[in-house]
């Protein structure tokens, strides 16, 4: 009989957890804000992390006190995405954040399943470029969900695809909205980043280089 607290799967957010693309998203949104005549601070950007492209744009336009029609919004989002894709075009396995591969190897050896749950429609491209597809038991990206984080849909779908109940999953997230989403789905959470920003998580680490199986098991 398995312990009801047993960790059977880890679900990773992608941007800001596996790769440093959270920074590229910020650069592209900042560039768009500048073009629209205002600036975007890193603090303001925290609220845009983890959520879908169009919702992020809505937050940005609100910050700039700008109203746009639907068609123009689509054009602005496309423009941001083109800049973002320019940044990620050259990504390679070397761009994985420190500690990612050793931890994925450790999980695989321990037969703990692995998924990526990301709001990004660019997630499959990035995963291909950094070559971590072979570790994944499930990949749920922005094109497979209808409700963005903090709704738990993305993580619940990942758990379902792996055949693991939410209470046996741990989610790794760098975004407040992502921690909330995992909690809403009944999962345990590890914040990746600053404890000030991710205070709602069960544990906070600065990066996956600070993670290993033994530490993960302390959540059981």
List the beta bridge partners of residue 115: 11, 138
Judged by CB under 6 A, does residue 183 bind ligand BG6? Answer: no
Judged by CB under 5 A, does residue 137 bind Mg ion? Answer: no
Kindly compute the dihedral angle of the four CA atoms of residues 154, 158, 164, 169, in this order, to the nearest 10 degrees: -60
Among 96, 175, 182, 204, binds ligand BG6 (CB under 6 A): 175
Q: How far is the CB of 181 from Mg ion (least distance, A)?
A: 11
Is residue 174 part of the annotated active site? The answer reads no
Question: 166 or 178, CB closer to Mg ion?
Answer: 178
Is residue 13 part of the annotated active site? The answer reads yes
Of the listed pieces 9-17, 88-96, 184-192, 200-208, which binds Mg ion according to CB under 5 A? 9-17
Question: 174 or 180, CB closer to Mg ion?
Answer: 174
Site string for Mg ion, 15-44 (x = CB under 5 A): xx----------------------------
Burial class (CB in 10 A: 0-12, 13-18, 19+), 92: exposed
Using alpha carbons, list the distances in angstroms from residue 94 to 18, 22, 99, 163, 170. 12, 16, 12, 31, 26
Measured CA to CA, the distance from residue 203 to residue 211 in angstroms comes to 11
Residues that contact ligand BG6, how many (by CB under 6 A): 18
Please work out, in degrees rounded to the nearest 5, the angle formed at the alpha carbon of residue 70 by the alpha carbons of 65 and 48: 55
Q: With the C-alpha atoms ordered 208, 212, 213, 218, is the resulting torsion angle positive or negative?
A: negative
Judged by CB under 5 A, does residue 46 bind Mg ion? Answer: no
CB-CB contact of 157 with 167 (8 Å): no
Of the listed pieces 94-102, 117-125, 129-137, 164-172, which binds ligand BG6 according to CB under 6 A? 117-125
Judged by CB under 6 A, does residue 189 bind ligand BG6? Answer: no
Judged by CB under 5 A, does residue 174 bind Mg ion? Answer: yes
Site for ligand BG6 in 20-59 (CB under 6 A): 22, 25, 48-50, 52-53, 56
Q: How far is the CB of 193 from Mg ion (least distance, A)?
A: 9
Q: Nearest-CA neighbor of 180 among 168, 166, 191? A: 191
Question: 8 or 87, CB closer to ligand BG6?
Answer: 87
Structure-token match 């990004």, residue found: 120
């Amino acid at each position: 009989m398995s312990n009801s607290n047993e960790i059977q799967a880890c679900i990773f957010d992608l941007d800001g957890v596996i790769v440093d693309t959270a920074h590229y998203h910020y650069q592209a949104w900042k560039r768009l804000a500048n073009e629209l005549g205002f600036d975007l601070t890193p603090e303001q950007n925290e609220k845009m992390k983890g959520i879908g492209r169009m919702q992020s744009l809505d937050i940005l336009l609100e910050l700039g006190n700008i109203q746009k029609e639907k068609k123009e919004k689509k054009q602005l989002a496309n423009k941001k995405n083109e800049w973002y894709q320019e940044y990620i075009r050259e990504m390679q396995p070397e761009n994985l954040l420190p500690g990612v591969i050793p931890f994925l190897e450790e999980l695989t050896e321990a037969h703990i399943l692995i998924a990526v749950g990301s709001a990004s429609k660019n997630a499959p491209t990035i995963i291909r470029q950094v070559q971590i597809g072979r570790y994944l038991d499930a990949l749920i990206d922005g094109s497979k969900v209808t409700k963005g984080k903090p709704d738990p849909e993305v993580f619940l779908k990942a758990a379902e695809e792996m055949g693991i109940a939410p209470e046996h999953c741990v989610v790794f997230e760098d975004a407040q909205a992502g921690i909330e989403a995992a909690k809403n789905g009944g999962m345990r959470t590890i914040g990746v980043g600053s404890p000030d920003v991710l205070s709602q998580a069960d544990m906070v680490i600065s990066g996956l280089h600070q993670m290993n199986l033994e530490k993960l098991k302390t959540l059981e």
